[in-house]
Structure formats: structure tokens, C-alpha cells
Amino acid sequence: MACAALVQRGDPDRFVAAMAAPIAARRVLFPLYAMNVEVARAPWVTQEAMIAEMRLQWWRDALAEIAAGGVVRRHEVVTPLSEALSPELAALADEMIAVRRWDIYRDPFQDSAHFERYIDQTSGTLMWLAVRTLGAAEERVVRDFSFASGLANWFRAIPELEANRRVPLLDGTADGVRALAKQGLARLTNARKRRSDISNEASAALLAGWQAESILKQAAAHPEYVANGTLGTSEARKRLGLMLRSATGRW
């Protein structure tokens, strides 16, 4: 499957999370994750802002076709995505592409609300689309969990973002990183208190956030790990943690 291969190359952590999900869920997860790979890298494959804007617009147009419920362009990702995603959710997916315009330019986030909206409309919307397609769930719970997951991923990306002359945090001091990590952990705790609001079928989409707790705890205890790119654990511990969550269903 082209989507699975694309995710394996471009987003290996989400790939193994999808492989840990039931086979039926993978038919939804791989097209969504493949779209995310393509959209996330669109602003970075060129130094020309206009070309990057055009690449994002191509995806917005493709999603608009799915949302309209008519003829959809043939494409290795868009075609299976149109089979997995309802028109309603395709319309919602537009926000996760529009917000990626921040990646094209070098302006810092305006304020904390802007930063949180970016995390929510990238990581959060992606996870919500997957959850909604797979089963019943309470959106607030998913959004809290996905914020923690998205923030953990953001922390890991900071060295590369800074190398590309982006300003990824409003407060990049040790205290600022620590406070943000604790905010993510608090929202993770809130989500886990309401596990019963996520159906078993939908919970497969939350496997993608299996590393959030350990990474956020590391960032809170050792904020310097964020800047020097040493957040995370060994591959063996990562895989074991995913296996346990997949087996128990306790995301």
C-alpha cells in the first residue's frame, strides 16, 4: 500500500503505531497519516514561499473535492483518503493544512493562544479525524490527549526548527519549557480521567501518542534536553511501551 510505505519513510513513529492497531483501523490511519506527511513537508521542500503556498493549496483543493462529494482527483494518497474520510471530516481537515502556513515563514507565534491553536489544528485535528472515522468519542478528551502528544512531538522537532531559523517557542528558557511541559502533562491527565468517553474502536487512533508522557516528563525534569535534541528513549523501550498500550488499550 503506497500510503503505508510513505508513512514508514516519513513518519516512522506513526507507522509503528498504526501497525499496532487492528487491521481495519489501518485502512483509515495510513491514508490520514500519509496526507499528514505530505502536508507537513510541503513548506520545507522549497525556499520559495509562493511555491510552498501552492503545494499547501493543492492539498486544500483535494480535500475540498472530497468535501463536495463529487469527482476526486486520482492520487496515491488522495484516492484512498477519499474512501476513508467523510465529506464532513474532509471539510474539517482543511484547518490542519491552513495552519501549516506558519511553517513557510519565519515569524514567531503571536501569543500562547496562537501556539496552542497551531498544536491543536495540526496534531489535534489529525487525531480527531482518525478517532471520528473509527468510532465514538468525546472531542474534548481527544483534543486534550492530542495536545500532549503534539507538544511532545514539537519539543523533539525544536533543534531542526531552530536550525531552519524558525522561532518555535514563545519562551525558550528552561522555566518556559518546564511550564509548557507541565501544561501538556496536565491535559494528558485530564484525558486519561475520561478514558470511558473513548470507544474501543476509536482508541486505536490514540496509540500514536504513546510516547507523550515520557517525553513531557523528560522535558519538565530536564528542559535542556529539548534544545540539545536528546528527548526520548531507546527503540527497545519505545516498542515495549507501544506493545503494552496496544495490548491493554490503556492509552
pLDDT in the model for residue 38 = 98
Q: What is the mean pLDDT of each run of 10 residues along the chain (251 residues)?
A: 96 97 97 98 95 98 97 97 97 97 97 98 98 98 98 98 96 98 98 97 97 98 97 91 92 92
pTM (predicted TM-score)? 0.96
Domain boundaries, the chain: 1-105, 108-251
Per the document, the length of the chain is 251
**Among candidate residues 158, 225, 213, the one with its CA nearest the CA of residue 187:** 213
Dump strand ranges (E) for 107-228.
Answer: none
Q: How far apart are CA 190 and CA 96, in angstroms?
A: 24
